[in-house]
Every structure is written in structure tokens, then in C-alpha cells.
Chain A
Amino acid sequence: MGFLAPWFLAGAVAVGVPLYLHLLRRHTTNPQQFSSLMFFEQRTQSSVRHRRLRYLLLLSLRLALLVLLALAFAGPYINEPAASTPGGKLLLLAIDESFSMRAGTRLSDAKREALSVLAGRSVGERGQILAFGSEVDARTQPVDDAGTLRAAIESIQPGDSLGSFGELAHAVRSISDNIRAPIELHVFSDMQKAGMPASFSELALPADVTLILHPVVKDTAPNWTVESVNTPGQVFDPKKARVQAVVAGYGTPAAMRTVSLVVNGKTVASRTVEVPASGRASVEFQSLDVPYGFSRCAVKIDSADSFPADDTYLFASGRFDPERVLLVHESTDTRSAVYFSDALSAAAESAFNVESLTVERAAGVPLSPYAFVVLSDVASLPSSFENDLLRYVRSGGGVLIAAGTSTARRGRVPVFGENILQPRYYSSDPARFMAVADSDSSYPPAGKIEQWDGVRFYYAASVDPSNSRVVARLTDQTPLLLDKKIGEGRALLFASGLDNVTNDFPLHPAFVPFAEQTARYLSGTERRGGSRMVDSFLELRTAKEQAVSVEVVDPAGRRPLSLKEATSAQSYKLTQAGFYELHLANGRQDLIGVNPDRRESDLAVIPPDVLALWKGGRSPGSQEATAPAQPGARPLMKPRSLSWYAMLLVLAAAVAESVLASRYLGMQRQEE
């Protein structure tokens, strides 16, 4: 017998409480008054007798109650032989349903072999069916019904995920912990090398698991695939759009392959490329002529191999008119609009048209047609415009605020909502200027630190960064670039000007990528279109507090999100290859192409020696695995919890104590 939480036994010291109540407390009874002690004599009883425990039965019950309570919390258990299943073991059949099982007849072969193993099962022996890819799906519980098991095997369809033997081993360990019975594990797979975990120790199986591998292929099959496609998710000028594809061969000889670009099911261009033996070749299509709106595009090769499923790489591309950007500036500032619009037109392939307005003319301008808004060092804003702008951002819009010297006079950054702590004029310092000391390279507008080399800042507005994300700082640690989520939208604060007065940033080459990345980031075009991998997650909304519904339509045309998930889910896992249609919380629609992980295209199998090591060692690196199995070894013991019985006894003792205590209490009242 043992205890799961023995430290709870310390609670048994509480038995001192009833002892105190029954023994010590009883001794301090109040003296009774009597008319005269004339006829009484001193009769002191021995202290032991006087201090006798009253209501012994009640005391016993109270002690038992406390001890049992402590015992129940301590989690007592006894070890008993594990419940043996009929036949002494569980037959666990794991069938690989990863993307590579689509090659040839691999899955049907695996299922046929699994059925044959199932047919050879002992009478009454329980079986369970697992299907595994990147996750393990238990298709049945441990049952002995042959029909159920057979149906589960036949229902397995090939998936699009990456196979993972590590996940399978993890699931088998969990099953073994739960059932505490010997397991005979049969794995039906193409034993793809890509499915091996990074660490071999992740394949560890418990000692009572017998692993039997059923490879459905013996040798590595040659395979060509479109490994990747680089294309803009949005096309503004078809002549400038480029599609770059990489064709890879695994275990293949050198060969000429024809690569085709397909738009909405129609082949619009073809190229022939020579792929070296087991090598890669890239191909580029000079234009992507897609109609307005999103188009379903693909790059295909004529592989003529046994795995045609990976010959197509899907991606979505949308053609739109250049988006409008509103730049609001002071009437005295004529240069910032020039610098910013020139930078955008130079970089973003005519994706954005900048319209500049002075502050005075901005009031009443509808903001919804604009992809984002730039406030370039404005001293004051009409309140109606500021309210409209705040509503625009909260509903998913973006704003870039440049806080130059004019904004510093105002004291508070509009829309961003933070106060300017201190305007810092570096030109009066001995250093004369500041440089960028630190930037967050994971943040697109900030870029790499090298990008900021040579940029001099003569002025910066120091803003409280506590409610924002600081993505770039000057050498005196003044935040230069701050990002803040406001509702569904974003506000980006550049703590200096865009006019080549407070800094020389607009004259540096780094200003062009900065403007482009900022525009893409704030307009949200960086997240639209393109392609994703199976098993990757898609961000559905950016702020939790917004309960705006989103909608996902999967490649089969189903809507996998429930109503609750549609209003609360932050992300969605892409589980199938194909095109997903999205209606996002910010009101925009999107289309993305989802492709299987291209590691599945490498059909190389696990070397036999590794498989032998897995089968023989079962749990490599673990002590348990290296211990040889002994035929006469002690049978598996399974802990059986006694807490339930202890709680029942606690309940019984509590009821008895209540009855007895109320009885005694009644007697005491009568005595009083």
C-alpha cells in the first residue's frame, strides 16, 4: 500500500482538536452555585478519573473522521496485478495516413496488410486502430469486435500532413500508461525518413510494448516535385509580377521537366527546365496575368513518377487596383508627402497611390477607401477627423504617425493616445545627432539593423512606451518606432519627422523598404493571398475583445468553424491541401492555397539498421528499454486507488458523528 500524496497525512495531527474538546475543555467546566455547602464534603476524584474522556463513542467517531479525511486526501492505493486482457495483450494497429501514403498503392497495401494481421488475431483478443500523420487519431477504443476494427481500417483515407513516428510513439506510451497491459504494436507505413523525429529518444516505447513493423515499400522511389513557389499574393501590375518556382528531384536522375503555370484551371505559361540528378532547378514566369479578384493558381510539373500528388503547388493571387493612401500634413510641410509617395512608388510596384491633404482639408474626408493613413507631423487635427480616424483604426484600418516638432507642441500624439514626455533636440547636444541602436528584425517595417546605418536623427519625441511594442530605439534609448494595437487595427508611431528636417532618413536608401514594408504592414496586404503549409496556423483576428465573426471555407466547401469558434477563435489550423476561402474579422476576404509539407515528397525510407534499432531496443537511451525481458519476471502491477473507499468511510463517520453529537447536545440542553 502506498500514498499518492503522503504529505496530506500531516493533516492527521488535527485529531488533537477533538481530544482537546473532549478532555481538556471538559475540565474547565463552570462552577455551579449552590445555596449552602453545609452538608457537602470535599470529595476530589483522582485527576485521571476526573479528566476522563466523555462521550467516548463520539470522540472515536471524530478521531476516525479526521484520520480518514487525511487518509483520503493522501490518496492511498494498493498495487494489484494489472487486469489482464483476454489473450494477455492489446493488439494495436497503427496505419500511416501521411501525405506520402498517397504515392502508388501504399495506403491500400498498408490497409490490406493490417486487415490480414487483424484476421490472425486470437479469439477474444482486444484490438485498437490508430491512424497517424502529424497527429495520432484513435479510430477505435480497445474492443474485440472484429467488425468494428475492420471498418475502422477500411475508413482510413490518405491525409495531407507530415508523418511523425515521434507522435506515434508518444501516443503509444500514453495508451500503455492507461491500460497497463502488454501491447503488440503493428505499424503499417512507408517508413519515410522524413517522419523520423529529431531525437531518436522520442521513439522510446515502454517495455511491455512489442513493436512489429510492416513497411509497405522496400526501396526509395524517385520523385520530382514543385518544392516552392515565390509569388506576390496581390498583383497590381501583371507585367511586373513574377512567379518563381523551384523544382526538386529526390533520388532522381537528371531530366528535363516541363513546368506550367495554371491560373483558374487554365495553363497560361510553360517552361522546360533541366533538373539535375537529385537536385533542384528554378524557373521563372515573367508575368502573372490574373483577372481582378482572387485567382486560384498553381505551378505544375510533368513528373511522370509514382507520386503525382505533389506535382502541383497551389497558391492564390489577387489582382487589385493600386490602393489609396491618405497622407495628412501641415500646410507648411510640403516635403514629407513627396518623399513618402516617391518611396512607395519606387518600391511597391505601383501598389499604392498616395494622396496628400493638408490638415485643414482633411475634415470630412471619408477614410474607408484608403488602405491606410499617414499623419505627417500634424500639430492639430479637426476633432471630427480625429474621431473618424480613430473609428477607422478600430475597425481594422492602419495609421502611420510621424511625430515631428509640430506634434511635440500639441503634447499628445493623436490616435496613438500617448503623451509626449519630452521633445529631444539632439542638434544642441555635443553628439549633434543620434543613430538607431536597436531594431526588431522580426518586425517587417523595422527591418534589419544594418538598414538604418548612417541615418542621423536630429530630433525625436520621447513617448511613453509602456502600452506599445517598441521595435526600434535610438542610441539614447529613446523609442523611435512604436506599434500599438487599437481595436482591430494598428497604429505605428515614428517618433520623428518624414520631411528631411528632423532627420535625414528620407534621403537614405533604407527609407524605400521602410515605406514599402510599412505600407504592406498597415494595409494588411502582406497577409493576403499566397500559400501556406498543411498543419500551419492561420491568424483569424488580431484583438480578442472584438467578437466579430469570421468565416472559413475549407477545400471541400465545408465551414469547419462552429458559431462559437467563428466569434472567438484566434487562429485556425489548416489540415487539408487545397484552397481556403476566408472572411476575416476586419471585413476583408482572402483566398490562400495550402500545400502539403514538401518533406513528404522525399520518399527515402528509414535505413534498416535504424528500424532494427527501434524494434530491438524499443526505448533507446532509456534504462527501461535496455533491461532484458525476463520470462518469470514479476507481473505488471497496477495501482488501485482506495480514496473512494476512504471517502465513503468519511461520509459514514460524518453521518454517525452528526447523529450522535445532536443526541448528546440535546442531553446537554436538558441538563442546562
Chain B
Amino acid sequence: MQRFLDPSVLGAISGLDLVAKTVVDGFVAGLHRSPDFGFSQEFAEYRAYTPGDDLRHVDWNVFARTERAYLKRYRGETNSLLTILLDASNSMNYSSHAVSKMDYARFTAASLFYLAIQNQRDAAGLIVFDDEVRNYIRPSTRQGQLHRLLSGLELAEPRARTDFGKPLHHFQEFLRRRGLVLILSDFYESPEKILRTVEPLRFHGNEVVLFHILDPEEIRPRLDEPAILVDLETRERIEVTPEYARDEYGKKIDAHIEALRDGARSRGMDYFLLVTDQPLDAALREYLSIRQGRD
């Protein structure tokens, strides 16, 4: 089963829908209840009427028998709202093996969408951004939503630079309903700026999870000789020695990851590091664990 979650295996599958299906069907799809009560047909409990409650929800049959006003409450199954923020900047195009970071992010997002819509009956939406919002698909459970999301993922080709600050207010605008917000990015920005930008999302009652997607070469680059590196976003060139890449760079990227993880947790957000040569089930498991925690 693990084989079907391997990114290099998934890279050979052409369609994202098939990728998502392959991943999720191979994953344990647990049935669960929605954490919040809604207004569907499955009865949950009665609650005494308090002024201000919507009179449409008063059970008039009970009132006729008891002359007490009770509101009838139902157990909702699709109240959870999943929104994925996908970083489509040029740096996501980097790859040291068969699967680029962007591909990996697409696979992850597609799998999560599939899991949420097909298995969890959650509403799911997508925001693709780089230094501005490039695409927004409103969260919905409507027929065909999964295909719209997957199509949005397909069209999300990396370009331009990452800038969390600029599209922030758009996020605020789009994410007014409470739900689960997953951010897939390589987070090449100072941790403080990232967290400061993302933190307001939390204020709306959203669960925010940072999926930090990195290539193994980005964590431990291997250089056998001095080389000239070119920044994929800025096209800046820099001459780098193997010694620096081995020692200094390693410390810096580790510190960056640590700062991001600590900062996220201190602000009530979750952080998860995804390395592109690791199977995709880690992301799905994280998603479900967060959903469980909210039940």
C-alpha cells in the first residue's frame, strides 16, 4: 500500500483525480461525525428556547403538548470547511528528483480534496497565490466541486515570487467562515513575517495548518565542487562552496524550520514538514487527526 503513496510513483500518473483517488483509497478512510451541529435531518437533541433564537427551529409539536418552547437540533455531517492555500511561486518548481515541490503540493492538495469531499462530505475550496491571489475557488459541496478544485490545481503553474504580505487581506476576505485552513508552501520568507501574515486567519476561528514542503536537497544540499547557484524566483546568482553548503546552510535551514514550527505552535497553529521524497500519507494523517481533534 505504501507504494501507492510514494510521490515518485504518483508522478507517473497523469491525472490529479486519479492521483487523489489512488492516495485516498489506499489510505484508511475513517467515518466520523461532524464536530459542529447543523441543520440536516438526523435528530440530535432539544434545547430550551431563549430569546433571539430563530422561531423556525421551534418544535411546535412539543410546544402544543407541553406549552414549552424547545428548539429541535440535528446532527450535521458537512459543516466542516476545508480551504487550501497553495503557494505557486517559482521556488516551488525546484526538484532534485522525479517529483518537484509543486507536484508534491498538487498531489497533497488533490488527495486532501478527495478525502474531504468524497469521504468526509466537507466543503472544500482553493486559493492559489504567489505574490498575489491567482485563483480562488469558493468552498462548496456542490456537484462537480472536486473537479473544479482539481482543475484549479492543474492550472496552478509556478511563476513569480512568494509574498505572503500582499495577498493577505484577500485571504481575510475569503475566509470568513470557520473551518480548516491548510497552507502548502516552501515558506521562503522570514518565519516572523509568515506567522504574522497567517495569524489573522486564526482569529476567525479557523484551524490553520502550515504544510512546509521542501525537497531533500533543500534540507541537505550536496555540492562536490564550487558552483554557481541561480535563484529560481529572483534569478540572482551566487557562488557557493561545498563547505558552506554542508555546514552553514544546514544550520540555517534547520533554524528556519525550527523557528517556523515553534512560532506556529505558539500561535495555536499546526506545522508540518513534508519532504518530497516521503509518502503522502503523512499529510492525510495530519489532516484527519486535526479533524478528530475538532470532533
Min Cβ gap B81→A in Å is 31
Alpha-carbon distance A671/B256, docked complex (angstroms)? 28
Whether B226 pairs with A40 at a CB distance below 8 angstroms is: no
- Cβ of A43 < 8 Å from any Cβ of B? yes
- Residues of A within 8 Å of B241, CB to CB, are 43, 45
Evaluate whether A43 and B228 lie within 8 angstroms (CB atoms) in the complex, with A35-B94, A36-B91 already known: no
Whether B230 pairs with A36 at a CB distance below 8 angstroms is: no
- Residues of B within 8 Å of A34, CB to CB, are 94, 218, 221, 229-232
Whether A43 pairs with B252 at a CB distance below 8 angstroms is: no
Min Cβ gap A551→B in Å is 80
Determine which of B101, B218, B230 lies in contact with A33 in the assembled complex, contact meaning CB atoms within 8 Å: B230
- Cβ of A50 < 8 Å from any Cβ of B? yes
Whether B237 pairs with A31 at a CB distance below 8 angstroms is: yes
Whether A35 pairs with B215 at a CB distance below 8 angstroms is: yes
- Residues of B within 8 Å of A32, CB to CB, are 227-230
Evaluate whether A43 and B215 lie within 8 angstroms (CB atoms) in the complex, with A31-B228, A32-B229, A50-B226 already known: no
- Cβ of A44 < 8 Å from any Cβ of B? yes
Whether B244 pairs with A40 at a CB distance below 8 angstroms is: yes
Alpha-carbon distance A35/B256, docked complex (angstroms)? 15
- Residues of B within 8 Å of A671, CB to CB, are 224
- Cβ of A39 < 8 Å from any Cβ of B? yes
Alpha-carbon distance A419/B218, docked complex (angstroms)? 89
Alpha-carbon distance A31/B237, docked complex (angstroms)? 8
| Chain A 17-40: CB-based contact to B (< 8 A → 1; otherwise 0) | 000000000000101111111111
Determine which of A35, A37, A45 lies in contact with B238 in the assembled complex, contact meaning CB atoms within 8 Å: A37
Whether B229 pairs with A33 at a CB distance below 8 angstroms is: yes
| Chain A 185-213: CB-based contact to B (< 8 A → 1; otherwise 0) | 00000000000000000000000000000
- Residue ID in chain B nearest A29 by CB atoms: B227
Among A36, A39, A54, chain B packs the most CB atoms within 10 A around the CB of A36
Whether B188 pairs with A38 at a CB distance below 8 angstroms is: yes
Whether B233 pairs with A39 at a CB distance below 8 angstroms is: no
Whether B240 pairs with A43 at a CB distance below 8 angstroms is: yes
Min Cβ gap A393→B in Å is 82
Whether A33 pairs with B256 at a CB distance below 8 angstroms is: no
Prevailing SS type, chain A contact patch: loop
Evaluate whether A35 and B248 lie within 8 angstroms (CB atoms) in the complex, with A29-B228, A45-B226, A45-B241 already known: no
Determine which of A33, A42, A44 lies in contact with B232 in the assembled complex, contact meaning CB atoms within 8 Å: A33
- Residues of B within 8 Å of A45, CB to CB, are 226, 239, 241
Alpha-carbon distance A155/B153, docked complex (angstroms)? 106
- Cβ of B249 < 8 Å from any Cβ of A? yes
Alpha-carbon distance A44/B227, docked complex (angstroms)? 10
Evaluate whether A36 and B231 lie within 8 angstroms (CB atoms) in the complex, with A42-B239, A43-B239, A50-B226 already known: yes
Alpha-carbon distance A39/B251, docked complex (angstroms)? 9
- Residues of A within 8 Å of B256, CB to CB, are 39
Evaluate whether A44 and B239 lie within 8 angstroms (CB atoms) in the complex, with A36-B188, A39-B249 already known: yes
Min Cβ gap A126→B in Å is 66
- Residues of B within 8 Å of A37, CB to CB, are 229, 231, 234, 236, 238
Whether B227 pairs with A35 at a CB distance below 8 angstroms is: no
Interfacial residues of chain B within 233-266, with CB under 8 A of chain A in the complex: 233-234, 236-241, 243-245, 248-249, 252-253, 256
Alpha-carbon distance A38/B236, docked complex (angstroms)? 10
- Cβ of A545 < 8 Å from any Cβ of B? no
- Residues of A within 8 Å of B188, CB to CB, are 35-36, 38
Min Cβ gap B140→A in Å is 33
Whether A40 pairs with B249 at a CB distance below 8 angstroms is: yes
- Cβ of A41 < 8 Å from any Cβ of B? yes
Alpha-carbon distance A238/B186, docked complex (angstroms)? 125
- Residue ID in chain A nearest B161 by CB atoms: A36
| Chain B 92-126: CB-based contact to A (< 8 A → 1; otherwise 0) | 11100000010000000000000000000000000
Alpha-carbon distance A31/B91, docked complex (angstroms)? 16
Among A29, A38, A45, A54, chain B packs the most CB atoms within 10 A around the CB of A38
- Residues of A within 8 Å of B232, CB to CB, are 33-36
- Residues of B within 8 Å of A44, CB to CB, are 239
Alpha-carbon distance A42/B239, docked complex (angstroms)? 6
Among A34, A44, A50, A54, chain B packs the most CB atoms within 10 A around the CB of A34
Min Cβ gap B185→A in Å is 11
- Residue ID in chain A nearest B251 by CB atoms: A39
Whether A31 pairs with B230 at a CB distance below 8 angstroms is: yes
Among B91, B101, B226, B236, chain A packs the most CB atoms within 10 A around the CB of B226
Determine which of B101, B227, B228, B252 lies in contact with A39 in the assembled complex, contact meaning CB atoms within 8 Å: B252
Alpha-carbon distance A303/B248, docked complex (angstroms)? 119
Determine which of B186, B225, B238, B252 lies in contact with A42 in the assembled complex, contact meaning CB atoms within 8 Å: B238
Question: A29-B227, A35-B101, A35-B188 provided; 6 other pairs, C-beta below 8 A?
Answer: A29-B225, A32-B229, A39-B249, A40-B240, A42-B239, A50-B226
Give me the interface of A with B, judged by CB distance under 8 Å.
29, 31-45, 50, 54, 671
- Selected A-B contacts with CB under 8 Å, 22 pairs: A29-B227, A29-B228, A31-B237, A32-B230, A34-B229, A35-B92, A35-B93, A35-B231, A35-B232, A36-B232, A37-B229, A37-B231, A40-B229, A40-B240, A41-B238, A41-B248, A42-B239, A43-B239, A45-B239, A45-B241, A50-B226, A54-B225
7 closest Cβ pairs, A-B complex: A35-B94, A31-B228, A39-B252, A36-B188, A35-B91, A34-B229, A37-B231
